[in-house]
Structure 1
């Protein structure tokens, strides 16, 4: 078959040529969108944009829009290539007390972002993967969004400490220095503070410390705030260097959190209509490409304690800290991280225009999320991979191994009956019902859950599941409590 450069081959531009592009079943939806871009500098621009809206909004006879159907194909390709893997596979090579959080989510409001493709059929495309053209959120975007939410939490906590009654004789400088360990938690997780983050936190502390000077002229207050912010920045930098968060030779710092891309399974359009403030009517509607409400994605992050500032001699960090110090750090970091993740998805939002409510997720998850911790905590439960409604039916003598053979396959009714007979039991009504429930669970996702649980045990990881985003902080608090001496999961 003769190969041709597609833009040169489709170089003719008229109404018939655009119709041929739309009717050509050998072209996928994203290739058609790129070919429609050739009409941008011509009088056919609006016609081409109308054809593009058909690709995104009009369903095909078999169901789904051309864009959504192509996204489904590309997501399957991602899976086949192993570019989306469960975090449990990474646990075997990570250090002890590494943590993974992963969960699927459903958008409650559309997700907006900005692609860096300057040549596109509409002016505001959503960000897409360069190769597969699937709408996605990059790891750096997740880190920036979660850092922003975490910064707000840190700022609120710092102010709560400052509002407490000061100790007798405590100077404002001494009160400010007592905040640095809490603030350094953000540096430990996300790396060095960026300029906006430092300006926000220093400004919030300075505003509170100078609140007693409200009677001074505004010019004097402004100069005092600026001077106080600069002083706080210097003091915090000294704290970071003293405790091993920074060194003289290396200014940069990698945080303990590592993020992964999220690929979405749908594409849509959103119209934002700015209103004239005086007349209260729309001025010029703006078309945005978006990931629509109801689309699903998967969020994943890793917490890897690869460095230990503040744990060596003179607080300069250690290569291998003692276990108790590491456990204390983890028990402090986990609830803070869970609060930030929960707030990001349910209230703060991610992506563009979050102040207008975009980028929020539903509380109920389409399938259970998982919290994975590489540690040995308490006594492992016998039926951990079973959902709670099945655990309820297990008697004292029942074990999951009664139903699953050593090769990881569901036993037949005959094999299960023989196991009961060997124990001196009968295959009576209650046992038949239990086997039926286990079989239904196994055939509707239970097999995958069981295999992931086995992989977690092989990696030495603890797995906790949650079905709603609001359950995440509680699950994490239980896990953090189990880390301390005497705790169990």
Structure 2
């Protein structure tokens, strides 16, 4: 059935691309904008001219993907409709911490992009090589929870661990607290790899101290440290974006100075908005009395706030973030933080407002 659909509606020439975009001819019953984009990929069975037209049209006529994403903004209209469906299903809704343990907190705000967001979708066949990641059910561009987790862990490593690499005791303690927040490190094996190996090399003298903290915390002194695997206290949620666009990079020949083989990137553009949500459940501190619980919850929250701020404003959270992509504006339409048992719901409109709620030290002003 899947094959028959693409075979019947296969792109034949430039005229069929125009009909697909306009919803005429044999394509008059294709109403779903995302399906139209997927059908553009069938142009690859034709010549280069048809493929190029399916991407951006020609000098006389903007057609194909660039018409849907940029010129006519049809996909933005599609996204808005799908976002309403997502909200009606309760998928992208505010989080209620009423039934969670004391000390649990929620941090959420609507962020707006200052720089475009890039990511790579894993769809096997597409009209361009660099589609932005989209939800497989709704076709809405989004940042997965795993991407937020990885970027925040990296930002907090830069802000807190790197600064303590000459102090093994402090380094090991901070690394341990980050493990409780994010969970077991990637590459945590008998012979460390990846992230674990990187942190071991950053401060070699802290390796033994860190492993001792793990075995003592989880009362597994007879086990090897690498056998200890923990779940993080932070829980991340996807961010669904409300806009999409197409960016074209046109490399120039050094001799002729003319453009050749333009490279197309789907992006979430500057000004796009989406909700960032982060939930914390302090299950490693639940045996403490209220005073100790509050102290540890506050320590975790203050570091996370500083890390989120650094990720959003300083480092970015996108592919190609090292050259400036994927940064947010320090201005939120809606933001709230709530700590069960310790802080009622408070609203904020920027990071300074968030920090002032509990007096978090601002290191980035």
TM-score normalized with structure 2 length: 0.84
Q: Where do 1:258-337 residues align within 5 Å? A: 258-272=235-249, 285-308=262-285, 320-337=287-304
Matched residue, 1:236:
210
Q: Report deviation, 1:343.
A: 0.7
Judge conservation of contact 2:11–2:42 (CA < 8 Å) in 1. Answer: no
Q: Report deviation, 1:94.
A: 0.8
Matched, 1:23 2:37: no
Matched, 1:177 2:144: no
Q: Report deviation, 1:187.
A: 0.8
Q: What secondary structure does 2:349 align onto? A: strand
Matched residue, 1:92:
98
What RMSD in Å do the two structures reach over aligned CA positions?
2.8
Matched residue, 1:373:
339
- Picking from 458, 461, 471, the partner of 2:353 is 471
Distance in 2 (CA, whole Å) between partners of 1:278 and 1:241 is 63
Judge conservation of contact 2:294–2:342 (CA < 8 Å) in 1. Answer: no
Matched, 1:38 2:42: yes
Distance in 2 (CA, whole Å) between partners of 1:263 and 1:120 is 21
Q: More deviation in 183-192 or 193-202? A: 193-202
Matched residue, 2:310:
343
The alpha-carbon distance between structure 1 residues 187 and 282, as it changes in their structure 2 partners (threshold 3 A), is farther
Distance in 2 (CA, whole Å) between partners of 1:20 and 1:280 is 36
Matched residue, 2:229:
252
Matched residue, 1:203:
201
Equivalent pairs counted in the alignment come to 337
> Runs of 5+ in structure 1 lacking a partner?
60-64, 163-174, 206-228, 309-318, 378-461, 480-489
Distance in 2 (CA, whole Å) between partners of 1:202 and 1:72 is 46
TM-score normalized with structure 1 length: 0.64
Judge conservation of contact 1:245–1:253 (CA < 8 Å) in 2. Answer: no
The alpha-carbon distance between structure 1 residues 280 and 199, as it changes in their structure 2 partners (threshold 3 A), is farther
The alpha-carbon distance between structure 1 residues 276 and 186, as it changes in their structure 2 partners (threshold 3 A), is farther
Q: Report deviation, 1:469.
A: 2.7
Distance in 1 (CA, whole Å) between partners of 2:105 and 2:184 is 21
Q: Report deviation, 1:285.
A: 4.0
Q: What secondary structure does 1:82 align onto? A: coil
Q: What secondary structure does 1:307 align onto? A: coil
Q: Report deviation, 1:464.
A: 1.0
Judge conservation of contact 2:117–2:318 (CA < 8 Å) in 1. Answer: yes
Q: What secondary structure does 1:57 align onto? A: helix
The alpha-carbon distance between structure 1 residues 94 and 134, as it changes in their structure 2 partners (threshold 3 A), is same
Q: Report deviation, 1:280.
A: 10
Q: What secondary structure does 2:85 align onto? A: helix
Q: Report deviation, 1:5.
A: 4.9
Structure with max Cα Rg: 1
Distance in 1 (CA, whole Å) between partners of 2:176 and 2:4 is 55
Distance in 2 (CA, whole Å) between partners of 1:281 and 1:18 is 27
Judge conservation of contact 1:188–1:245 (CA < 8 Å) in 2. Answer: no
Q: Report deviation, 1:74.
A: 0.4
Matched residue, 2:60:
none
Matched residue, 1:423:
none
Judge conservation of contact 2:144–2:237 (CA < 8 Å) in 1. Answer: yes
Q: Where do 1:352-431 residues align within 5 Å? A: 352-365=319-332, 367-376=333-342
The alpha-carbon distance between structure 1 residues 178 and 122, as it changes in their structure 2 partners (threshold 3 A), is closer
The alpha-carbon distance between structure 1 residues 374 and 306, as it changes in their structure 2 partners (threshold 3 A), is same
Q: Report deviation, 1:284.
A: 5.3
Q: Report deviation, 1:298.
A: 0.7
Distance in 1 (CA, whole Å) between partners of 2:70 and 2:164 is 48
The alpha-carbon distance between structure 1 residues 278 and 352, as it changes in their structure 2 partners (threshold 3 A), is farther
> Runs of 5+ in structure 2 lacking a partner?
57-63, 188-193
The alpha-carbon distance between structure 1 residues 295 and 178, as it changes in their structure 2 partners (threshold 3 A), is closer
The alpha-carbon distance between structure 1 residues 281 and 200, as it changes in their structure 2 partners (threshold 3 A), is farther
Judge conservation of contact 1:145–1:344 (CA < 8 Å) in 2. Answer: yes
